Amino acid sequence: MLEGLRQKVSDWINADPYRRGFGIYSALFISAFAAALLIVLTFPEFSITEESARSFISTSNQIQATILAIVISLTLLAVEMTASKYSPRVIEIFKKSATLWFFLFSYILSIIIGSIILIQINGSNSPIPTTLGTLFVLVLGMYLSLMLILYVFNTLDLLNMERIVENLVDLIDTETISPQVDPFQSVFDVIYGAIKINDFTTMSTGLTYVERRFKQLIANGPANWQDDYISFRLFDDIKRCGFLLIEKREDKYVFEIITRLKTINEWAFKEQRILVLNRSCSAIEDVAVKACEYNLVSVVNHSLTTLKETAKSIGGIEGLSQDDGITKKWRHTLFSFVESISNIGKASVRHDLDTSSQKAIEILDSLGRYAIEKNLIFEDDFVFKRIGEIILEYVNRDKTTLVNSSVQMLQFLGEYAVDHNHSKEALWILDELRKIGKNAAHQKKAQVIQRVAGAIQSIAICATAKKRSDIEANTIDLIVKFKLIYPALFKSGKGVQLFDYNPPDTITIPKEEYDLVFQYESYLVDEYLRPPDDWEGDYDDDGTIVISL
């Protein structure tokens, strides 16, 4: 109960510390004088001798001076210890503490008043009655003793890191923001200090207050440069928190950093703060890539999930594929999120985090299917090339199994595009398969290029079945080029020697040869759709099959 009352009084004073503090301390001095005067008037026969008055006031001044010296020393020591433990920025809170300055001023003023009364007592014809002056010093001393107790509680409250962070956050204001100063630096210095000494409670509290203040600053509608600058500074500071935690391998708390960014994303999307989303996206990517270096799989996967959820929210905006200014900004933001997912996927491949890289591809696959399903038609490929980039990393690092499964995913995605009459998307997917096959050929990886050719052929079969002649022609053309330019990679058997094989990317052949191979590949595609009429007749009664060349 007493703690709750003290907290309410403290909050009331902190709402307007200087004005309310001045009122409280003025009332203290006035009431002390009024109490002394009341005693003198009520008990006129009560008197204090000059000798007793001098002795009491001298002792009172000495005690107050001693208390003042001790309090100042202990306060400075406490501030120094807190500042060295967390950040020198803590000193700013004590320098701006109204309670500290009013406390010092009251004790100094009390000592001065006591000295003046003492001088007047020693003189002749004293204008201040000895009894009244002595009682005033006595009552004032009692009040100041009470204020000492309150000051100690207030100082302990100021030394509470939650209160320090809250006070530092309150100092951040749009009126004082300038390009030369990081508005959040003072708060994050404390948060960095907390991370270094494993005080994660202070870290969490600081991030909570910073997020709340950031939303208030953005909601107040600062100028555009301030809006972007504030976002840049905040996410750069949060990113550095993530880096510190990653280096300490505190994946649990890095997870919290990503969750904090996720809540900011949700708020920014709701408030349509595109700049904030872009900055947040970059911060999440940087933290996740750093986490890849330390094999923090849970952090990487959580980052991918966070980016995916925001990307899907953006993808659900009506008219996203239109060309007006607002939707263009949202479209570019969507592209940024997809690119970040791809970059995290590539970093996962480089650090052998196979589950994370596969998760990135699966997310991109779902986003690609979502775009096709929702008929989000864009001028540029924003997702399929990102899948291709991750697969190329697989090829470069000789992860054949993952290459095959990922190429199959591209194949299914291409068939999905054909099924939904999205020719442009199907052609983009074919182009990614071309890049993968070409890269595999340069590295003499026959199994990969054969798998790529098989994926292209499957898309060709789907296009033929759907009577999409344009896609069918492109797929067969691509297969023919692979087989004519890199013939050795399509030969079966262990006798194929590839160590001396350095094929060019361009060859010149007779047109008749190209047409012949093209017709043959077209025939193979047709065979899948229209097997021979006498297929069942090839089986004999004894369960054997007759095959011939």
Same domain, 138 and 223: no
Contact 284, 258 (CB under 8 A): yes
In this structure, the number of other CB atoms found within 10 A of the CB of residue 506 comes to 7
Is the pLDDT at 130 greater than 80? The verdict is no
pLDDT digits (tens, 9 = 90+) for 419-455: 999 999 999 999 999 999 999 988 888 899 999 999 9
| Entry pTM | 0.76
Region 56-78 average pLDDT: 84
Contact 400, 355 (CB under 8 A): no
Same domain, 430 and 492: yes
Same domain, 121 and 186: no
pLDDT digits (tens, 9 = 90+) for 261-310: 999 999 999 998 999 999 999 999 999 999 999 999 999 999 999 999 99
Which among 293, 318, 345 is the end of a domain? Answer: 345
Please report which residue ranges of 317-422 form alpha helices under DSSP H.
325-350, 354-373, 384-396, 400-419
CATH number at residue 201: 1.25.40
Same domain, 417 and 534: yes
Number of domains, the chain: 3
pLDDT of residue 391: 95
pLDDT category, 44, cuts 50, 70, 90? low
Which among 288, 322, 345 is the end of a domain? Answer: 345
The answer to whether residue 367 sits within a structural domain is no
pLDDT of residue 530: 72
The answer to whether residue 176 sits within a structural domain is no
Same domain, 319 and 191: yes
pLDDT of residue 301: 96
Is the pLDDT at 132 greater than 60? The verdict is yes
Same domain, 390 and 536: yes
Name 443's bridge partners.
none
Same domain, 190 and 88: no
The answer to whether residue 171 sits within a structural domain is no
The answer to whether residue 65 sits within a structural domain is yes
Q: Give me the residue label for tokens 């004082």.
A: 176
Distance, CA of 359 to CA of 18 (rounded, Å) = 56
Quote the longest CA-to-CA distance of the chain. 143
For 503, phi and psi rounded to 5 degrees? -75, 150
Distance, CA of 292 to CA of 112 (rounded, Å) = 66
pLDDT of residue 10: 58
pLDDT category, 534, cuts 50, 70, 90? low
Distance, CA of 102 to CA of 18 (rounded, Å) = 9
The answer to whether residue 168 sits within a structural domain is no
Distance, CA of 492 to CA of 73 (rounded, Å) = 87
Range of the domain at 410: 383-549
Contact 158, 39 (CB under 8 A): no
Is the pLDDT at 43 greater than 80? The verdict is no
Is the pLDDT at 483 greater than 70? The verdict is yes
pLDDT of residue 151: 77
pLDDT of residue 328: 78
pLDDT digits (tens, 9 = 90+) for 140-178: 777 777 777 777 777 777 677 777 788 778 777 777 677
Same domain, 316 and 194: yes
Please report which residue ranges of 86-129 form alpha helices under DSSP H.
90-95, 98-122
Same domain, 114 and 209: no
The answer to whether residue 175 sits within a structural domain is no
Same domain, 155 and 227: no
pLDDT of residue 548: 34
The answer to whether residue 309 sits within a structural domain is yes
Same domain, 197 and 144: no
Q: In terms of C-beta density within 10 A (0-12 exposed, 13-18 middle, 19 or more buried), how is residue 268 classed?
A: buried
Same domain, 92 and 46: yes
**Smallest Cα–Cα separation from 275: which of 265, 285, 289?**
265
The answer to whether residue 359 sits within a structural domain is no
